[in-house]
A and B are shown apart, each in its own frame.
Chain A
Amino acid sequence: MKRAIILVVNGTEHSVEVQPSDLLVDVLRDRLRLTGTKKGCGTGECGACTVLLDGKPVNSCLLLAIRCEGRQITTIEGLGTPDSLHVLQKAFIDNGAVQCGFCAPGMLLSAKALLDENPAPSEMDIRQALAGNICRCTGYVKIVKAVSSAARTMSGAEGGGR
């Protein structure tokens, strides 16, 4: 019982046929070939699949694709590009916040949602906002530092960040 729906991903409309049971993470990865979104547990425990839905971070492994019709989905591929990195992406690189990198896409999107809502977060705000994104490599030290430094850059640049 497939249904054709329009998914708006990173500002582009995609027409896809989905089963009612298809999960957003699978549609993004397998159908739209946006493999930047990772699947770490499939049960909403690790945060690797985090994407933004109308600007809010969600676990795309817990979300039916069909429920996302007409809503704005942002994946890591839409956060920035190599030529035009988001301030957060640059801060992750500069601060050494990436190791195996599997958590990075979800981590970055959770961080973006935080900074969109709270441009001057405290360290505790950052830690709380990232608590649903597990990282096994970094111990979070450099990730928190990167988000904090991105926040400073963005407020200093008066909206210079995207």
Chain B
Amino acid sequence: MRVIGRPVVRLDALDKVTGAAKYVGDMKFPGVLHAAILRSNCSHGRIKHIDTKDALELPGVHAVVTGEKYQKPTGLYLKDRTLFAVDKVRYYGEPVAGVVAETPELAKEAVRLIRVEYEQLPPVYDPLSALADGAPLLHENLGNYEWAPVFFPKPGTNISNHFKLRKGDVKQGFAESHIIHEETYCVPHIYHSPLETHVAVGYADNGGRLTVWSSCQSPFAVRKFLSTALDIPLSKIRVITGYVGGGFGGKAGATIEGLVAPLALAVPGRHVKLVYTREEDFVGAYVRQGLVARLKTGVGKDGRIRAQQCELYWDAGAYTEYGANIVRAAGYTSAGPYDIPNLWTDSYCVYTNHPSGGPMRGFGMPELHWALELQMDTLADKLGMDPVEFRLLNCLKDGGVTATGEVVYGVGLTECIKTVAERIGWGDKKEGVGKGIAIMCKAPAMPTNASSSACLKFNEDGSVTLMTSAAEIGQGAMTALAQIAAEELSLPIEAISVSCPDTAITPYEWQTVASRITFSAGNAVVLAAQDAKRQIFQNASYILGDHEMELVDGQVRVKGRPDLSVPLESVVMGAFLPDGSAKGGPVFGRGTFTPEGLINLDPETGQSPRPVAFWTFGAQGAEVSADPETGKITVHRLVAAFDVGRVINPVTLEGQVEGGLVQGLGSALFEEMVFGEDGQVLNNSFVDYKIPTSMDVPAIETYFVEVAQQDGPWGARGVGELPMVPTAPAIACALKRATGTLHRKLPLVRHGRD
């Protein structure tokens, strides 16, 4: 291996430590105008009147836009959203109008001059109340919306998706059970907290073409979203991304772009910039949905899980265009990493007057595994069985069957569990310290045709420009993809440069989400490299003759004849023959990857032999103590092991997993969005919404198992979201062993004292 598996220095590291790296907020645009957004100050209300006259008359104001002009609903999976509120507002902080002005201050002043009259409607703030008879209805027109056929909204209710899974015979399974445990678990809303808030710049020319520069994870999804809402063909919309200052799912789909685009269209010929304040960022994009999970699980005397029934009620907020799929993902993963023969699951996406739920690192899995893993730990206790043994007995292994009936192979979960147990010193007692373990699985939740593509453009000197539309959000995509290209082409990493996404130039990528880029875009890069090599060998054959060839260290060689070779750079622009004639042409490799053979889940039973591209498994252990006087919880150690298939870059992988563990730690201990009675977020700053600092981090150890993913690039599968998934339950299970009490509500710092 030349570069795969090596600690290659990140391609973006030098620019980032010298301050040269350009994020969208750093880009300069001539004569840029500034935008500000008026957000609703009620969580559920009918808009009776919007008066924009004073705002428009303020000198320096160029335009004011409201929902009146853009009424067409849009969204990723379920078109239930408009760009600005139309007729109704459904959460506190919903965009009602936007202003374009000469300066940010003027724009804000103009926003204050807009008057909106609401007829207050009764709000509903939790999913169970929203399902009750007579609950206020958020979307009266739900039945008229468009949705992808794998979703099941219930018009006339607040359910925007009801996912059903029916496997085996749960009645029989419970009848065979020795112990049955029923419990409810709760997860609050949390906020992604990227260091860079959302920022976007829009520009419309007079020919109806729109360009948006956005700090986003999904430029192509943004383009499609805007195209629907604005009625502009895709070919006339261009979305460009720079370095992204952290995403974690909050910059997936389309959010801020839907505000800046109509504002730019109102002032053609001028750039319009919108930067979310931190306060605005808490509600201006997506938040992680809340969850109430009711689980009933039965185990036999032998400790094997016989049956499980799950009711998942998601507090999905005001708009669920993206969140509807989280509910589905959690539904089809509702057995978690366990082999459960009889399973019955109802997962409900419920509208509430909270900010829009949407993707956040883990996509429903941290919330689901919070419930599952506490449930399993309790069952192990009730059985008098060691929790590690219980998990080893019941977890998925080669030939095991998932919730959807898929038979899985290449599962390294047992090794992950054993590694964590050994490293955390499972069984070694320490006074006052509890140890806990939690395991997990996750698959990318995406449409069955979610594709990636890559181009490799060769330069005259034999170096290569790799073009993909994978966003560099900090995860190291650029570097990992360059490593894959370098390995395939037998080139040094320095020979590869990687571009940032630009939908007018770089090839299609569905989204940079779901821990899928290394796998999916990585596969596209492998295929592009193979395509490039075919062209290189073709060009070389004009000089060397028709032979089987290989590319080694910048030389194109006839296989087995090292003496018959030409330097790579001499054939990347085509072959030039001694008589001066030219043959072939510049090498331009292309590769596209779509995971083939994915089959939709049965709408009634949620069963499919292959619903997802791959599964990743892992385990975590925690060592925790609590002060009996003050209740202060201390996490001493976190140990993690994941089966990543193949390590592409050990340093970036380790860093990403460490970061995920600490995000998981924050969500376990103290992260929670607190809402007032009016639905307003009360803790929308880093003073009041605590995320971990350098002082909060325990000792962390990470381990990687490598059971190759057969169709992954060099055997790799995705891991980005995973470390956040089992952290909270591992900590809660450890806390239980330290204190004797299992807390079922997050975050622990608040509810740990209940």
Contact = CB atoms under 8 A, between A and B. Distances in A.
Q: Which of B13, B26, B28 has the most CB of A within 10 A?
A: B13
A73 interface: no
Contacts of B14: 82, 93
A34 interface: yes
Contacts, number: 179
Interface of B is mostly: loop
Given A98-B17, A101-B21, A137-B474, A46 B686 contact: yes
A142 interface: yes
Contacts of B246: 99-100, 102, 136-137
Contact of A136 (B19, B651, B691): B691
A35 B18 CA distance: 11
Contacts of B652: 96, 99
A115 interface: no
Interface string A2-37: 000000000000000000000000000100011111
Band of interface residues on B: 35 or more
Interface in A34-71: 34-43, 45-46, 48
B102 interface: no
Interface in B233-275: 243-248
B292 interface: no
A134 B690 CA distance: 10
A132 B9 CA distance: 27
B278 A43 contact: yes
A110 to B, nearest CB: 10
B141 interface: no
Interface stretch (B45-53, B55-63, B692-700, B729-737): B692-700
B695 A142 contact: no
A156 interface: no
B700 A85 contact: no
Contacts of A143: 694
B706 interface: no
Interface residues of A, number: 56
B278 A42 contact: yes
Contacts of A89: 17-18
A43 B28 CA distance: 23
Given A93-B9, A96-B7, A136 B18 contact: no
Interface in B1-59: 7, 9-10, 12-23, 25-26, 28
Contacts of A155: none
A62 to B, nearest CB: 13
Given A36-B20, A76-B18, A139-B659, A100 B195 contact: yes
Contact of B245 (A42, A43, A100, A128): A100
A131 B248 contact: no
Given A89-B17, A98-B10, A138-B658, A35 B196 contact: no
Interface of B: 7, 9-10, 12-23, 25-26, 28, 192-197, 243-248, 277-278, 473-476, 651-652, 654-656, 658-663, 685-687, 691-695, 697, 700
